[in-house]
A and B are shown apart, each in its own frame.
Chain A
Amino acid sequence: MGSKTLKTLLMASSILAGAGMANAQETTLTIESWRTDDLAIWQEKLIPAFEAKNPGIKVKFAPTPPTEYDAALGARFDAGSAGDIITCRPFDKSLEQFKRGNLTSLNDLAGMKNFSDVAKAAWTTDDGKDTFCVPMASVIHGFIYNQEAFEKLGIKVPATEEEFFAALEKIKADGTYIPMAMGTKDLWEAATMGYQNIGPTYWKGEEGRAKLIKGEAKLTDPEWVEPYKVLLKWKDYLGDGFEAQTYPDSQNLFTLGRAAIYPAGSWEIGLFNTQVQFKMGAFPPPVKKAGDECYISDHNDIGAGLNAKSKHPEEAKKFLDWVASPEFAEIYANALPGFFSLNSTPVKMQDPLAQEFVSWREKCKPTIRSTYQILSRGTPNLENETWVESANVINGTDTPEAAAKKLQDGLDSWYKPAK
């Protein structure tokens, strides 16, 4: 035992010494991110493109699994060990980090002129004075469908709510496919792919969201309860045991061709392209009556900021300037179809499905997810509550009205709209 332990100790100390060495010549910038999926794209495409133009600066992409990202990053900020470049969640979460002095204002960053105020809104203080993250991408909600299934069953792409449910009914009657691939186990799927996907159609996008923030509308008003009533109708068209169906389960059901319709976020496109064997199509959330204005959730999702305590602020700004450039936008949007650039310079995208999603910007009114700005600053947290209640409505634990009341009560307990 003794000699073995000693050997282990020696081995340990030699490795510990090795780990401490670093290259002193070059500056290394570390990127904090929750996008573990993008590791390969950063390593193979983005970082080489930057390093080729900026000798002397090395970049390291160090992602943390998304479920642990916020907690781990918070702890690293508190202790001063966070990376130089911080991938920003949209709205209040990053705003809080800016207020705490963890993120630096990027007003003087030259590349910021490449973005419209709308694009920057997700990472700008309420008074509009400071912007603290470079907008990277937004995601659009809608539905992806199995074209072969639709053709076989003679289903036309639905445009109205009525057509949508008629299509679901037809798929169900045929029995070959599960009509819709969505589960409630992971909660957020029901809220994000369900409620936030179809909701804007009913609360009229930005108009309804603004009213809610001003306190002129309540979550118990009909236009906010109605999406829940529609979601409840989805229940009959989900697969058996959807209560225990996880998000990866849903993805697999659809990509293996067992389900016909997938309530989606555009970020799925890249993954689905590599996994499906059939042709896919997409349609925006159906409107109530033919001829109604359509609304889509075009949500600013991801940005890049500068750690206020970074030891290499100059190099980091150089990097962020590059992230703000059209060159980055082009590589990023094409490497990750479904993450749409927020850059004012139009980006040419190759992917047909991504083109379909982005084309809705022309005909529908875009909005962001209703819970993200201002309304999730307090406790209880409206976004998290919405996850729970959306699943509850579909599971039948709460009626749409009860769910809406719980949400509004929670909001009322801390939120006082500015008059």
Chain B
Amino acid sequence: MARPTASPFRMGLVHLALVIYTLIALFPVFLTVINSFKDRSAIFRDPLGLPMPKSFSLVGYETVLKQGDFALYFQNSFIVTAVSIFFVLLFGAMAAFALSEYRFRGNTLMGLYLALGIMIPIRLGTVAILQGMVATGLVNTLTALILVYTAQGLPLAVFILNEFMRTVSDDLKNAGRIDGLSEYSIFFRLVLPLVRPAMATVAVFTMIPIWNDLWFPLILAPSDATKTITLGSQVFIGQFVTNWNAVLAALTLAIVPVLVLYMLFSRQLIRGITAGAVK
């Protein structure tokens, strides 16, 4: 860690570039948030103005909180996402390890088979999936969603983890074998910690489509008790499409939990990434 820092001028340029892109990334979110606190005519008259005492209004939030049970929807989304990620990571890493570590007949074929799922949207299997869920009585349960999302997340997880696991040194693993570690211990104790950055990355990528999915909640679990936050806000937007106060307030409320969740994850993610780098 004895590298010299870049010159202040070049550092300044780096910050300038990052700040510009940060503005691009955040501007739409900023616009949503400030306008959610304004009254309807102010939203139209002066979309870029900050909420002033004269234009300040919470009517959007009042409408949102009166309708629907957003706390419950949030909880549903959280459970589905967390449990699915857990299974995707565990099963995905196990399979990726088997594929990258061992040579056996059909290895490439198996890899290709597991990658097939990246290529067709699982949405196409909807009818058969729904039939299966009806047959097993899982319709309108969160379990149905967790099963689908786990299956949906596995191919990509295996694909990425496979790539990363190949960079784990063979010497290390062989040293472990000589020390008499079982294959399971090698996986759990040696390899998993080393691919933590990749695991964290996969976790984030798995989380996004699950959290934001509208289709399967709509088909498999549309009941009030199992509605996810994305479905809840889509129904809400459908209901209040011209009421921009309410829609912008609902969007703001939908952004906040994602942000919090990511901040929590982000620390894990970065710790994972740096743990991988500093050996």
**B41 contacts the other chain (CB 8 A):** yes
Find chain A residues with CB under 8 A from B143 CB. Answer: 16
Name the one of A1, A16, A36, A79 contacting B141, with C-beta atoms under 8 angstroms: A16
**B140 contacts the other chain (CB 8 A):** yes
Stretch at the interface among B101-109, B123-131, B156-164: B123-131
The chain A residue with its CB closest to the CB of B139 is: A81
A39-B239, A62-B223, A72-B218 known; A12 vs B130 contact (CB < 8 Å): no
Do B127 and A9 touch across chains, with their CB atoms under 8 A apart?
Answer: no
**A78 contacts the other chain (CB 8 A):** yes
Do B83 and A252 touch across chains, with their CB atoms under 8 A apart?
Answer: no
Do B79 and A11 touch across chains, with their CB atoms under 8 A apart?
Answer: yes
A16-B141, A36-B238 known; A8 vs B219 contact (CB < 8 Å): no
- What is the total number of residues of chain A having a CB less than 8 Å from a CB of chain B? 36
**A417 contacts the other chain (CB 8 A):** no
Do B225 and A37 touch across chains, with their CB atoms under 8 A apart?
Answer: no
**A75 contacts the other chain (CB 8 A):** yes
Encode contact with A along B251-277: 1 for CB under 8 Å, 0 otherwise. Answer: 000000000000000001000000000
Instruction: Give complex CA distance A150, B40 in Å.
Output: 24
Instruction: Give complex CA distance A39, B219 in Å.
Output: 19
**A52 contacts the other chain (CB 8 A):** no
Find chain A residues with CB under 8 A from B142 CB. Answer: 12, 15-16, 19
**B30 contacts the other chain (CB 8 A):** no
The chain B residue with its CB closest to the CB of A11 is: B79
Do B130 and A271 touch across chains, with their CB atoms under 8 A apart?
Answer: no
Do B242 and A271 touch across chains, with their CB atoms under 8 A apart?
Answer: yes
Encode contact with B along A46-65: 1 for CB under 8 Å, 0 otherwise. Answer: 00000000000000001111
- Contacts between chains A and B (CB distance < 8 A), count: 87
**A378 contacts the other chain (CB 8 A):** no
Encode contact with A along B186-214: 1 for CB under 8 Å, 0 otherwise. Answer: 00000000000000000000000000001
Instruction: Give complex CA distance A72, B83 in Å.
Output: 25
A12-B79, A252-B244 known; A65 vs B235 contact (CB < 8 Å): yes
In terms of DSSP, what is the predominant structure of the interface of chain B?
A: helix
Name the one of B40, B127, B139, B244 contacting A78, with C-beta atoms under 8 angstroms: B127
Instruction: Give complex CA distance A255, B219 in Å.
Output: 35
**B100 contacts the other chain (CB 8 A):** no
The chain B residue with its CB closest to the CB of A19 is: B225
A64-B218, A72-B218, A78-B131 known; A252 vs B79 contact (CB < 8 Å): no
Find chain B residues with CB under 8 A from A11 CB. Answer: 79
Instruction: Give complex CA distance A68, B83 in Å.
Output: 27
A19-B142, A252-B242, A255-B242 known; A8 vs B44 contact (CB < 8 Å): no
A8-B86, A12-B83 known; A79 vs B238 contact (CB < 8 Å): no
**A279 contacts the other chain (CB 8 A):** no
Find chain B residues with CB under 8 A from A67 CB. Answer: 238
Instruction: Give complex CA distance A141, B183 in Å.
Output: 72
Name the one of A9, A66, A271 contacting B238, with C-beta atoms under 8 angstroms: A66
Q: Which of B217-251 contact A (CB under 8 A)?
A: 218-219, 222-223, 225-226, 234-235, 237-239, 241-242, 244
Do B218 and A36 touch across chains, with their CB atoms under 8 A apart?
Answer: no
Find chain A residues with CB under 8 A from B44 CB. Answer: 252, 256
Do A37 and B242 touch across chains, with their CB atoms under 8 A apart?
Answer: no
**B82 contacts the other chain (CB 8 A):** yes
Instruction: Give complex CA distance A75, B126 in Å.
Output: 7
Name the one of A66, A75, A251, A275 contacting B127, with C-beta atoms under 8 angstroms: A75
Q: Which of B134-188 contact A (CB under 8 A)?
A: 134, 139-143, 146
The chain B residue with its CB closest to the CB of A74 is: B127
Find chain B residues with CB under 8 A from A113 CB. Answer: none
Q: Which of B66-106 contact A (CB under 8 A)?
A: 75-76, 79, 82-83, 86
Some 15 contacts from A to B, beta carbons below 8 A apart, are A12-B83, A15-B75, A15-B76, A16-B142, A19-B142, A19-B226, A36-B235, A36-B238, A62-B223, A64-B235, A65-B238, A66-B238, A79-B133, A252-B44, A275-B242
Chain B residues in the interface with A (C-beta under 8 A)? 40-41, 44, 75-76, 79, 82-83, 86, 126-127, 130-131, 133-134, 139-143, 146, 214, 218-219, 222-223, 225-226, 234-235, 237-239, 241-242, 244, 268
Chain A residues in the interface with B (C-beta under 8 A)? 1, 5, 8-9, 11-12, 15-16, 18-20, 36-37, 39, 62-68, 72, 75-76, 78-81, 247-248, 251-252, 255-256, 271, 275
